[in-house]
Amino acid sequence: MKRLRSVHLYFEKNPWILMIISAVGGALAIALMELLSARTTYPLFAIPFATSIVLVMGSPEAEPAQPRALVGGHLIASIVGFAIVQLTGPSPWMAAFAVGLAMIAMHLTRTFHPPAGIDPLLIVVNDMTWNFLLVPVAAGAVILAIFAYIWHNITRPGSWPRRWW
């Protein structure tokens, strides 16, 4: 416990080191997502995790950066997108509606994760199939949560998450 306090005090006195550690973690997480996207049918730009990585690695203490919001937000927003595209078909107007509806759904389920707002847009505009929910959305969110847990707890023991659910 004493060691944890000294680590946290060190970072409070040297915040630039923490910024560098976060940036390196973010770059590594992007590289991991790029590697994984090369093995799927989705290029990295079609996978909605770059902004999630920036949030989770750069502001790990924020409520939207916690695992419930990270994983739940992407899943809820994607499900909303799939429901809208199934009901209405692909359309820019319906994509906009899906994003707004996903925001409400994330707030109601306490899974608000702003980067997940792109999920229903991608799903509706591109008429994605339900496979997109499993890979890359669910798999990517879980992989990012595991990566963040390992990275943050190696670099700042006991720092992430504040709570899992």
Element spanning 113, H or E: none
Q: Is the pLDDT of residue 1 over 70?
A: no
* CA gap 46, 53 in Å, rounded: 15
What are the tens digits of pLDDT across the range 14-32?
Answer: 788 888 999 999 999 988 8
Burial per residue of 106-128, b for 16 or more beta-carbon CB atoms within 10 angstroms, e otherwise: beeeebbbbbbbbbbbbbbbeeb
Mean pLDDT of 109-135: 95
Where is pLDDT greater, at 97 or 37? 97
Q: Is the pLDDT of residue 4 over 60?
A: no
